[in-house]
Amino acid sequence: NNAESLVYQTEKQLADLGDKVPADLKASIEPKLMALKEKVKESDPDTELLKSISKDLQDELMKIGQAAYANTGGNASPPPGADAGAAPPPGGDKKPGDFIDVDGQ
């Protein structure tokens, strides 16, 4: 099941990132992806071989993420309207007459 998830995740990342993934990285990933897909289809796959192929593919998948991050210049901008780190206005949303009962009375 983990191997099937890894196949799906790899295919999705390759499709989503498209041209952001360098050709040489795609070329090294595709044979590993195909090998894992074939192993997953087997009715009784060699679990050690399945783990080994999965680990190799996971390592390549991390490289995809690193390449995509590097292609953005490492500056992932926040979504529009998100003021990350912006301080709240002085007084916040308190209105005149708001108070805190610290004595419990």
Instruction: For 49-80, write each residue's pLDDT tens digit.
Output: 889 999 999 998 888 888 777 766 655 555 55
CA distance 51 to 56: 9
Instruction: Give how far Cα 56 sits from Cα of 6, 44, 76, 104, Å.
Output: 11, 20, 27, 62
pTM of the model: 0.60
The string of pLDDT tens digits covering residues 19-60 is: 888 888 889 999 999 999 998 888 888 889 889 999 999 998
